[in-house]
Every structure is written in structure tokens, then in C-alpha cells.
Amino acid sequence: MSANPITPNIPFDEDGVHHGFLRLPYSRDDSAWGSVMIPIAVVQNGEGPTALLTGGNHGDEYEGPVALQDLALTLSPGEISGRVIIVPAFNYPAFCAGSRTSPIDKGNMNRSFPGRPDGTVTEKIAHYFDTVLIPMADIVLDFHSGGKTLDFVPFASAHVLDDQNQQDACVAAVRAFNAPYTAIMLEIDNVGMYDTAVEQQGKVFVTTELGGGGTATARSIAIARKGVRNVLRHAGIMAGDITLEPTVSLDMPDGDCFVFSEGEGMIEPVIDLGEKVSKGDVVARVWATGKTGVAPVEYRAKRSGILMARHFPGLIKSGDCLSVVATVV
């Protein structure tokens, strides 16, 4: 297999703060000898663990990129022992376009692992992380939110893993992140996920969903900012105490948590995010867009719990996930 074509223009093993790029050659009609330039910062000080921090895995999610740009600007080597690798915009072409997937190849970064060195742009980036960056790390934090089409109550989560020790380490890091909600989930379909790639290399992994709609708020950014520092402290990279507030534990035990639309139309949410819902309650109605006088289709919860996620845009298509109900543990 050929070598990954990405080259960094900063060192990974020198003390201090380095701001630079991962340069991926990308020949195209509007630049024969062009490149994708993924911003990266590395802060290092002496011996210690390595944290790999990523935002913009999906390009329309902003809590991670804001918190990581802020961290890259403000974190000084004197505050740490070890190394912090910061990539605020993992799928950089998607991030520039403000879209979930890459405008170059429609690649969903979180379904492109382990990637290929001779594949699409998204696959090449995935392969570089899989073969170069993940191996450098002890702990990995990947920020997500709902993006332009989903909205979530803010939570951090770990996965159920075969290796109980690894799972325990992940759960401890998630609890250190300390989002308002916390979820330990069994990922049924983990094919191609960054999460899986990291976990398979035996690393401690934390992921989040901190809001959505393709925006961020002062409140949701504060969660991200506190969480990342908490995780660095938990990992022993930063000194100082972890700030902890109450968190609600959630579970999504099976497919009955999900309600899918079976037609298209305009959504009327009946339950808002974070509100309680009982099995059989109407969670949303879908109205016709082309006629008046037609009764809406009602969608009902298949379990009791709280509304954890919902389709964000006002219009919906057949097959879109309308809402997710999580049980409170």
C-alpha cells in the first residue's frame, strides 16, 4: 500500500507551541497543484501523556471548533506536562462549506475509517489519523453536535466495549468531561467510525453531542470549554481540579428509542428537547405542505423517557429520524 500523502509543516515532538498545517496535495480543475491545508496546533512540554483533540469531524458542528480554537490560542506549554494535539476542523473541507460531509467527495468522516492512502480526500485524512495521529495519543476527545439537521440535549458519552478496563477508563474520562447529560451507549453499527478506530487501538475515547442546528450558543460553548480542560486535567496533562456539576445519565437501550418519518411534510414538534415523554404520547405531527384541510400525521413515542434528540429543520422527508427518546437511568 502506498504512503499517506499528507505532510505536516510543524514538528510533533518539540516543546513549545506550534501552529501549522497538515498539507494534503489535491489536484483539481481550479488548482492543478493545489492542496487541502488542515490547521493543526501542537503544544508540548516535557514528558507526559498525549491528548488528541478534534472538532469538525462533521463540518456543521461548532462547539468543538470554537473551544479548540480558543484552547490552541490560549494554552501555554507551562500549563501542561505532555502533549496536546489540536485539530479544530477534522474534516476541513466540510467545515469550510458548513456542511456535514465534504463537498469534495461527500465523505462523512465518521464513516470513512480506517481510510485509504490512495482513496478520496476524506479517506486520505482518515488514514492519516488512523496511522499517524491516533497512535501518538493516550486519550482522544472528539467533539460532535447535531449539525444543521439534528438537535440534542448536551451530553458526553462512552461506548460499551469488549475490554472492561478500557471501557472503565473511557467512562471515567466522560464523567470528567461532565456535560449536563451523560450516556453510556452500545454502538450497534460502528462500521467506519472514528470512535471505533480509536477504541480498537486501545485508547481512552470521549465523544459528545452538545447541541445542534448548525449553530452554537454561549451556553453550549461553555460546556465544551469546561469539558476539554476537565479531560486534560483528568488525563494528568493539565494540573488543577476538575469542575463538576450534576449530570443526568441517559440510556438508549434499543431501536424503539427512534421515531422515523414515513412521509414528507412540515414538522410540528409537540414535545421540546429535554422534556419528559410517556410511551404512546404524540411527539410530533407532520403536516402536508401542498394543501390545507388535511389532518397531520401523528408520531408517537414507543418508550417513556425524555426527548433527547430531534430533527431540526422545519421540513422533513420520508425516512428522516424525527425524534429520539432516551430513558433516564
The reply to whether 36 sits near a second copy by the rule CB under 8 A is yes
- Residue-by-residue DSSP string for 126-167: HHHIIIIIHHH-SEEEE----GGGEEE--EEEEE--SSHHHH
Write each residue from 216 to 245 as x if it is in contact with a second copy (CB under 8 A), else as -, in one continuous string.
xxxx-x------------------------
Rg (CA), the chain: 20
Provide, rounded to whole angstroms, the least separation between the CB of residue 233 and a second copy.
22
- CB-based contacts of 207, cutoff 8 Å, min separation 6: 141, 142, 143, 144, 156, 157, 158, 195
Contact stretch for a second copy (CB under 8 A) within 142-150, 169-177, 198-206, 246-254: 142-150
> 310 - beta bridge partners?
151, 323
Min dist. Cβ of residue 264 to a second copy (A): 8
DSSP characters for 195-213?
HHHHHHTT-EEEEEE--BT
Q: Name which position in 44, 91, 95, 175 contacts a second copy (CB under 8 A).
A: 95
3-state DSSP assignment of residue 293: coil
Minimum Å gap between C-beta 15 and a second copy is 16
Q: Which stretch binds a second copy (CB under 8 A): 67-75, 76-84, 127-135, 158-166?
A: 67-75
* Torsional sign, CA 26, 29, 34, 36: negative
Footprint of a second copy on 167-226 (CB under 8 A):
189, 191-192, 213-219, 221
> How far lies 289's CA from each of 82, 261, 317, 327, in Å?
56, 15, 12, 33
When asked if residue 134 is in the footprint of a second copy (CB under 8 A), the reply is: no
Q: Which stretch binds a second copy (CB under 8 A): 55-63, 169-177, 198-206, 242-250?
A: 55-63
Taking the CB of residue 225, how many other CB atoms lie within 10 A of it? 16
Among 65, 82, 107, 154, indicate the residue that binds a second copy (CB under 8 A).
65
Q: Between helices 63-74 and 218-234, what is the axis angle to 10°?
A: 60
Interface pick for a second copy out of 82, 115, 227, 269 (rule CB under 8 A) = 269
77 burial class (0-12, 13-18, 19+ CB within 10 angstroms)? middle
DSSP 80: B
Q: Does 327 bind a second copy (CB under 8 A)?
A: no
If one asks whether residue 278 binds a second copy (CB under 8 A), the answer comes out as: no
**Cα distance between residue 298 and residue 289, in whole Å:** 15
Per CB under 8 A, the list member of 260, 274, 281, 327 interacting with a second copy is 260
CB of 235 to a second copy, least distance (A): 21
Region of 135-143, 178-186, 196-204, 282-290 interacting with a second copy (CB under 8 A)? 282-290
* Residue 276 makes contact with a second copy by CB under 8 A: no
279 interacts with a second copy by CB under 8 A: no
Residue 264 interacts with a second copy (CB under 8 A): yes or no: yes
- Which one among 14, 28, 160, 201 touches a second copy, defined by CB under 8 A? 28
